[in-house]
Amino acid sequence: MLSFLVTGANGFIGRHLVSTLERRGFDVKQAVRCHPGAPEPSGGIYAVGDIGPATDWDSALDRVDVVVHLAARVHLLKDGASDPENEYRITNVRGTERLARRAAASGVRRLVYLSSIGVNGSHSGTGVFTERDRPSPHDAYTLSKWEAEKVLHAVSDETGLEIVILRPPLVYGPGNPGNFLRLLELVASGWPLPLRDFNNRRSLLFVGNLVDAIIHCASHPSATGQTYLVRDGDDISTSELIRRLAELMGRPARLFSFPSSLLRGTAKMIGKSTDIDRLMNSLAVDDSKIRAALGWQPPFSLTDGLRETVSWFVAGRSASRSDDS
| CA-wise closest residue to 163 among 220, 110, 94 | 110
Q: What is the pLDDT of residues 201-225, one digit of tens each?
A: 999 999 999 999 999 999 999 999 9
Q: pLDDT over 90 for what percent of the chain?
A: 72
pLDDT of residue 113: 98
Residue 272's pLDDT band (cuts 50, 70, 90)? low
d(CA 159, CA 92): 20
Residue 72 pLDDT greater than 50, yes or no: yes
Q: What rounded mean pLDDT belongs to the chain?
A: 89
| CA-wise closest residue to 70 among 26, 28, 116 | 116
Average pLDDT score over residue span 119-124: 94
Contact status, residue 173 vs residue 309, Cβ threshold 8 Å: yes
Terminal C-alpha separation, the chain: 49
Q: Check 46, 141, 172, 228 and give the catalytic one.
A: 141
Contact status, residue 99 vs residue 51, Cβ threshold 8 Å: yes
Residue 288's pLDDT band (cuts 50, 70, 90)? very high
Residue 199's pLDDT band (cuts 50, 70, 90)? confident
Residue 277's pLDDT band (cuts 50, 70, 90)? low
pLDDT of residue 85: 82
Cα dihedral across residues 40, 208, 235, 192: positive or negative: negative
Q: What is the pLDDT of residues 133-179, one digit of tens each?
A: 999 999 999 999 999 999 999 999 999 999 999 999 999 999 998 88
DSSP H or E stretch at residue 148: helix 140-159
CA-atom Rg of the chain in angstroms: 20
Residue 44's pLDDT band (cuts 50, 70, 90)? confident
Strand-strand pairing, 162-167 and 110-114: parallel
Helices (H), ranges, 232-280: 238-249, 260-269, 273-280
| CA-wise closest residue to 144 among 113, 173, 175 | 113
Chain centroid offset of residue 49 CA? 21
Q: How many CB atoms lie within 10 A of CB 54?
A: 10
Residue 231's pLDDT band (cuts 50, 70, 90)? very high
pLDDT of residue 49: 87
Average pLDDT score over residue span 227-256: 94
24-28, 31-35, 311-315, range with the lowest pLDDT: 31-35
Question: Could you give all domains of the chain from N- to C-terminal order, each with its CATH number?
Answer: 3-175+206-233+284-300 (3.40.50.720)
pLDDT of residue 317: 77
d(CA 154, CA 1): 28
Average pLDDT score over residue span 229-239: 94
Q: For residue 280, give every residue at least 6 positions away whose Cβ sits within 8 Å of its Cβ, in sequence order, or none.
A: 198, 200, 238, 260, 263, 264
Q: Which residue type, as a one-letter code, is found at position 269?
A: M
141 is catalytic: yes
pLDDT of residue 236: 95
Residue 76 pLDDT greater than 60, yes or no: no
Residue 36 pLDDT greater than 50, yes or no: no
pLDDT of residue 37: 45
Residue 324 pLDDT greater than 60, yes or no: no
